[in-house]
Each structure stands twice: as C-alpha cells, then as structure tokens.
Amino acid sequence: MAKREFSIPVIKSPPEIPPIRPGAMAHSRPFVAKAEHQEPLGFPGELVDNWKSVAIDKMEELLGKYRALPVFLDSCVKCGACTDKCHYYLGTGDPKNMPVARQDILRSVYRRYFTVAGKYFPKLVGAAELTEEVIDDWYRYYHQCSECRRCSVYCPFGIDTAEITMAGREILASIGVGQKYANEIIGKVHKIGNNLGLPEPALVDTLEGLEEEVEEEINVPVKFPLDQVGAEVLLVTPSADFFAEPHVDGLIGYAKVFHQAGISWTLSSYASEAANFGIFVGNYENMQKVAERIRQAALDLGVKRIVVGECGHAWRVAYSFWNTLIGPFDFLDTAYPTPQHICELTYHLLQQGQLKLDPAQNDDKVVTFHDSCNVSRGSRMGDMPGGQFTIPRALIRSACPHFVDMAPETTHEHTFCCGGGGGLLTDDLLELRVKGALPRVSALKRVIEEDGVTHMAAICAICKSQFSKVLPEYGMGMDMVVSVHQLIGDALVFEPAQ
C-alpha cells in the first residue's frame, strides 16, 4: 500500500463544520481504468482524440435522457443549505466537496454550452469552457462523492448531487477516462457473475466449508444450497458475504433463518452478486446488464421468489430499479413483493411467530445501528414509508436486549454514508475514506462513551468493509461491526419444525 501521508481527523464533540480549505483534496484521484477495464463495458480504452466534442455530445444526450439533469442544473439558487451536509466536506474541508460546488463543476460547462446566459455572459454566471483542467476536476471530485443522496434531503428543490455525479462519471467513462476499481468490477460481473471474480468451483468450496463449520458449531444441518432448481427462493447477496468478515456471519444468519423457517432456497452461480456497480458509474446499459443476470437465474432455477441479502446500493437498485430494468416479475409468486429484502423476510417470519429468538444470546452486546445511505434515502422496506428504518431496528431489538440509537441528526434519512460507498471502496482512495467516515465515527464515539455501545450493526456489504478498515484508524475495534443477520442467527432458537 502507498505510504501514508495524511493525518486522521480529530473527533470533535459536538461535531464542527470545518472552515473551507480550498484544494485540500485536490490530490485525491483514484486509479484510471485501463483499456481492458473500459472496453468490455462499451467505453473507449483510452482518452479519445476528440474528447471535447464527445464529452459535450454525451452531456447533451444525458440532458435529453434524464429529466433530473436539466431541472437540477437550472434550479439551484446557491442557497447554501447543502454546503455542510456532505460527509466528504465535513471530513476534508475541501470546498469542492460541498454538494453545490460539486454540481457547479458540471453546471459551469452546462451553462457555457447549453444556456443563453452562459454563452453570452460566461463571467457573470460562472460558465466555463471545457478544458483538460475541468476534466481533471471532474475526475477528482466525481470520485469524492459516494452518491449517498444526503444533500438531496436538505435541498429545497431536492437536487440530488448523486445524479450529477453519475452523469459526470458517465461522461468521463465515455471519453475514455473511467475509474479502474468500479469498471474492473463490472467487467468481472459481466464475465463471471460476481464482483470478486469468484468462479463456480470456488463458490462450491466456500459454501461446503460453511456448511461444515456451522454444523460443527451448533449441531444443526444448516444448508447453503447452490443452483438448486425448483427452490422456492433465489437469494441474491453481495459476494463479500461469501468470505469477508463480518459479512459471512450475516450469510450464516440468512441460512439459519431459511433453515428454521423451512423455506427451500438457493444461491445461483450465474448471478452470484447482488451489488450492481452499474449505478455507480451512472451507466444504464451496464446496470441493466448486471441486473439481467438475476432475472435469467430466477427463470433458469424456476424459483418463486427473489430475496436480496444485506447490501445498500444493491437494495436500492433491486427495490427501486429492478422492476424497470428486468421486470415485470409476473413469472414469480405475486403473494410476495419482488424483490424482497432479507430483513423483510425475517421480520415477516417473526411476526408470524415462525421464528423464535433468544435475546439472552446477545446479552454481552450493546448494539447501535448504522442506517445505510442507499437503503435510507433510495429505497423502502415493508409497506410503509420509513419501513427501511423500523424493520432493521425491530429485528435488532428482538435479537438483542440492549439497543441504542445514535444522534437523530445522523440516523434515518439524515444518516451519514460510511465513507466508502459509490464505488470508492478502494485503497487508492484510503485518505478520502478515512476522512469521509468522520461524521459517522463521531456519532458512534458518542454512544460508545455515553451508552457503552460495543457493536454497530449494518445491512450493507460496503459499510461493513469500510468500517472494518477505518474504525481502527480512529482507535476503535474493527470487530465492532456486525451484520444484522449475525445477531439474528446467534439468537435463533432451533426447534423442530411445526
């Protein structure tokens, strides 16, 4: 790993809004995708010669395809309400990490090429020519946004900087300047079926290992079926669940729930990934293609339901976009919502009295819950708005005797991104990730000190990986982070099925 050249931010109590520090993160840029990462996604392998006109044409195309873009680019009044809402601004003080300033680097070009005011009075309205420096700025600062939508909550017009970032990244990729991390991953999904590039034999191995491990530990023959034709449920989960810590304990939790509820289920080796980095690079075609594998797997396996494991942006894509991308789901059992979140499934079973939990198993823990940004602000669970907040909490409460919420300005729709979302969970952006975690870590520190919190539960693979990596930087234990379904699995009472 590269030499560390940054200092860990100091946690202030109460949290402070930093003064602006222009250029503080101007050095932060992720590795650029090579031709082999670009081309399989339909992007040019390197910077095209006529990049300027390609970029402007692409911008025009996107302006015509997504209503959000012209509306958002025209409507901002520079009121400043969003300026202190982004975790990357709060952690770095770089003014270009203020959502409105992030938009402005695209808006100034939009003004210059697509508006009357910008064409004739560029100075007056801050319109700018598209130059190499502008492209550089886009590359830097569109990779310092985790597309978490926090800014959109507070904007009087609902301007969602994530939409602007996605457009910026799509333009960049289409002139040949893609981001290596995200594009390489999308390529792996297209080719192999998951972000890790884990081939089927490795998956079989891993799952067999898990079966043995669980049976040894609790003496219950919990299965981890793969490619089982005719199963009731297809479970699609982030591939990190297969091997990363603490994710895998979540997977074990899902398996225990299915086992105890007597629901036949299967994973798919063809669609062994819930994550969909297509959303991160803002490219509809790639997002659709990644999602399509899941529809195909569901058809091939003849399942009746699709359930999605703990993953933030995956759930946004699944809940909000799947029906559009790969629907209609008329080939599935309409008695259940499609897709269904694993938390919804478990919650439903608990309500029906089909699962029994013994919270005493988690008596040693004081648990808090990190609302994942994409789940909170881009999706729902259950049939009431806000179910995405109440259902996971209800699960934790029924599995743990001690639950504490973090400060209300950092939970529910006000939640802070973990700092690693939106395709930024890569070591070449470590400084950004550490600094971007500051607001969440500050809130966590407070409940640790005031309420003796020992664990923070999450329902997102990226959150879990990110926190395991950055909490130690702030002097907290990496094993504080747990999956919600780990807590469920540990508390689950195995009874003979009724």
Partner 1 sequence: MILGTIYAFLFLVAAFCLVVGVALRVIRYSRTPVPLVIPTTPAPTTTGGVVSRMFREVVLFESLFKGSKWTWLFGWLFHFGLVVALLRHLRYFTEPVWQWVEVIQWVGLYGGGVMLFGLLGLWARRFLVDRVRYISALSDHLMLALLVAIAGSGLAIKYGVHTDIVALKAFTRGLLMFDWQPLPAEPLLLMHLTLVILLMVIFPFSKLLHAPGVFFSPTRTMKDTPREKRHSAPWADEINRSTLR
The listed partner (ligand SF4, partner 1, ligand HEM, none) that binds 263, CB under 5 to 8 Å by sort, is none
Site string for partner 1, 82-121 (x = CB under 8 A): xxxx---------x--x-xx--x----------xxx----
Six-digit token string for 480: 């504080």
Q: Which residues pair with 456 in a beta bridge?
A: 368, 481
User: Contact 203/142 with Cβ under 8 angstroms?
Assistant: no
The listed partner (ligand SF4, ligand HEM, partner 1, none) that binds 158, CB under 5 to 8 Å by sort, is partner 1
The listed partner (ligand SF4, ligand HEM, partner 1, none) that binds 218, CB under 5 to 8 Å by sort, is none
Q: Which of residues 233-272 bind ligand SF4 (CB under 6 A)?
A: none
How many degrees, rounded to 5, is the angle at CA 373 between CA 367 and CA 376? 80
Smaller CB separation from partner 1, 68 or 298: 68
User: Contact 81/155 with Cβ under 8 angstroms?
Assistant: yes
DSSP calls for 68-129: HHHHHHHH-----TTTTT-HHHHHH--GGGSHHHHHHHHHHHHHHHH-HHHHH-HHHHT---
DSSP calls for 401-438: S-B----GGGSGGGPPP-S-TTT--SGGGHHHHHHHTH
SS3 234: strand
The listed partner (ligand HEM, partner 1, ligand SF4, none) that binds 70, CB under 5 to 8 Å by sort, is partner 1
Q: Which of residues 370-429 bind partner 1 (CB under 8 A)?
A: 376-380, 385-386, 388-389, 413
Q: Does 157 bind ligand SF4 (CB under 6 A)?
A: yes
The listed partner (partner 1, ligand HEM, ligand SF4, none) that binds 104, CB under 5 to 8 Å by sort, is partner 1
The listed partner (ligand SF4, ligand HEM, partner 1, none) that binds 102, CB under 5 to 8 Å by sort, is ligand SF4
Question: Which range touches partner 1 (CB under 8 A), out of 66-74, 184-192, 215-223, 245-253?
Answer: 66-74
Smaller CB separation from ligand SF4, 9 or 246: 9
Q: Which residue has the tokens 């919650």?
A: 347
- In the bound complex, what is the minimum distance in angstroms from residue 233's beta carbon to ligand SF4? 33
Smaller CB separation from partner 1, 30 or 187: 187
DSSP calls for 245-312: TTHHHHHHHHHHHHHHHT--EEB-SSS-----TTTTTT-HHHHHHHHHHHHHHHHHHT-SEEEE-S-H
Radius of gyration, CA atoms only, the chain: 23
Site string for partner 1, 313-332 (x = CB under 8 A): ------xxxxxxxxxx----
Binding site for ligand HEM (CB under 6 A): 77, 79, 156
Number of residues in contact with partner 1 under rule CB under 8 A: 78
* Among positions 68, 100, 281, 301, the unique one binding ligand SF4 when judged by CB under 6 A: 100
Q: Does 35 bind partner 1 (CB under 8 A)?
A: no
Please state, in angstroms and rounded to a whole number, the distance separating the CA atoms of residues 174 and 182: 14
Question: Which range touches partner 1 (CB under 8 A), out of 72-80, 192-200, 215-223, 430-438?
Answer: 72-80
Site string for partner 1, 267-306 (x = CB under 8 A): -----------------xx--xx--x---x----------
Q: Closest Cα to residue 487, out of 262, 314, 274, 254?
A: 254
Q: Which of residues 414-453 bind ligand SF4 (CB under 6 A)?
A: 417
Name the DSSP class of 199. Answer: -
Helix and strand totals (H; E) in the chain: 23, 7
- In the bound complex, what is the minimum distance in angstroms from residue 332's beta carbon to ligand SF4? 32
Q: Does 161 bind partner 1 (CB under 8 A)?
A: no
The listed partner (partner 1, ligand SF4, ligand HEM, none) that binds 300, CB under 5 to 8 Å by sort, is none
- In the bound complex, what is the minimum distance in angstroms from residue 247's beta carbon to partner 1? 24
Smaller CB separation from ligand HEM, 79 or 220: 79
Conformation bin of residue 81: beta by default, left when phi > 0, alpha when psi is -120 to 50: alpha
Q: Which of residues 136-155 bind ligand SF4 (CB under 6 A)?
A: 145-151, 155
- In the bound complex, what is the minimum distance in angstroms from residue 311's beta carbon to ligand SF4? 18
CA distance readout (Å), 248 to 7, 361, 456, 489: 32, 19, 16, 11
Q: Does 254 bind partner 1 (CB under 8 A)?
A: no
SS3 482: strand
Each residue of 312-337: b (16+ CB within 10 Å) or e?
bbbbbbbbebbeebbeebeebeeebb
